Amino acid sequence: MKEFELKYGCNPNQKPAKIFMNNGKELPIKVLNGRPGYINFLDAFNGWQLVKELKEATGLPAATSFKHVSPAGAAVGLPLSDTLAKIYWVDDLGELSPLACAYARARGADRMSSFGDFIALSDVCDVSTANIIKREVSDGVIAPGYEPEALEILCAKKKGNYNVIEIDPSYVPEPIEHKDVFGITFEQGRNELAINNELLQNVVTANKDIPESAKRDLLITLITLKYTQSNSVCYAKDGQAIGIGAGQQSRVHCTRLAGSKADNWLLRQSPKVLGLQFVDTIGRADRDNAIDNYIGDEYMDVLAEGAWQKVFKVKPEVFTAEEKREWLSQMDGIALGSDAFFPFSDNIERAKKSGVKYIAQPGGSVRDDAVIECCDKYGMAMAFTGIRLFHH
């Protein structure tokens, strides 16, 4: 297949639309089911690059959940704790494969943002992973292959219209890439930078100790940022992104946005949230919305008379600001990556509130000394990578 015709571009009025190779070669994909759209393919191709690099960097199966050309979550296939299995709504599925664990983590990092996602998988999609995808609201998936039964499960989704793309894992793009904007062609070399532990060797803080698990998490943040619309900041813990702040003009707004998402992930594991009793008829998406409101500033709306009975079997207790701060104060060992340098120490102060202990950022700000001093105040370890990861 040398080209694939699309219904329209980003919006229905943008016609005609298609994808094709400028060199006249065959496309490195097969559309096995459905009819993916313009944004679907943007998410699919960015997501595939992300999981391919995660697998290469960690040796573990990887998955990402993409929405509007930025990842909502990304993870590698580490086993799930009982708590994580519960908050990701997969505790009823029995033992999960490593790839299924990776997608459960990627989807579960920010379930509200992942609603209607496009999925990328580093490995052949197995039945365990397909069974998770089957029950979530999603637009499609890209993977290097599919087990026959897994493909059958996926092709039955969305009344047979679910988008399933198979990509040739051996495909290597041209070293120069092009992009048209306003009728003008931009040309640049592809970002082929290999992200590995060598980027974490220049530890500039008094605390030089970054354990292997934290190095893995820092690599996850950096690879995730490589395919996230800039400016961007990513928090990670235990093999997965837990908060991604994308497309903000201010660095500290990235840090705050990603930090608020990381806080939600942490608060979902608190006894108050784990003890919520939902009515039997409520779906996962409505549960996610209720939890988000319960954790956030809208919790009084959730607990209002006539409202809570639609969601909960028993009226929940108020989750006070003091209780949330106390729970979050126990958090530690979280990794944070930034796609460009931190210009002010306010980013470190915000990161500390979400339990950040390890940081990777390019360095190079005129205020590097102030940022390092702030890290030293909290005993954080920070590596200067010397590389920027802008993505547009």
List 52, 67, 157, 352, catalytic entry: 67
List 2, 159, 208, 392, catalytic entry: 392
**Is residue 40 annotated as part of the catalytic site, yes or no?**
no
* Residue 217 contacts residue 358 (beta carbons within 8 Å): yes
List 163, 231, 264, 347, catalytic entry: 231
d(CA 47, CA 118): 8
**Is residue 202 annotated as part of the catalytic site, yes or no?**
no
Strand ranges inside the chain, DSSP E:
3-6, 17-20, 29-33, 62-67, 70-76, 117-121, 138-143, 163-167, 176-181, 184-189, 232-237, 240-246, 334-338, 356-361, 381-384
User: Encoding tokens for residue 225?
Assistant: 């940022």
- CA-nearest of 110, 88, 86, 93 to 275 is 86
Cis amide bond preceding 16, omega within 30: yes
- Residue length of the chain: 392
Question: Which residues neighbour 11 within 8 Å (Cβ) at sequence distance 6 or greater?
Answer: none
**Is residue 68 annotated as part of the catalytic site, yes or no?**
yes
Tally Cβ neighbours within 10 Å of residue 203.
17
Number of helices (H), then strands (E), belonging to the chain: the values are 14, 15
- 337-349 b/e with 16+ CB inside 10 Å = b? bbbbbbbebebbe
List 68, 86, 134, 253, catalytic entry: 68
Q: What is the DSSP string of 134-180?
A: HTS-EEEEEES-B-HHHHHHHHTGGGGT-EEEEE-TT----SEEEEE
d(CA 338, CA 25): 37
d(CA 343, CA 371): 8
d(CA 200, CA 25): 39
User: Encoding tokens for residue 135?
Assistant: 């029950």
CA atoms within 13 A of residue 176's CA, in its CB half-sphere: 6
**Is residue 231 annotated as part of the catalytic site, yes or no?**
yes
Question: Which residues neighbour 6 within 8 Å (Cβ) at sequence distance 6 or greater?
Answer: 17, 18, 19, 36, 37, 38, 41
* Residue 105 contacts residue 144 (beta carbons within 8 Å): no
**Residues labelled as active-site residues:** 67-68, 231, 392
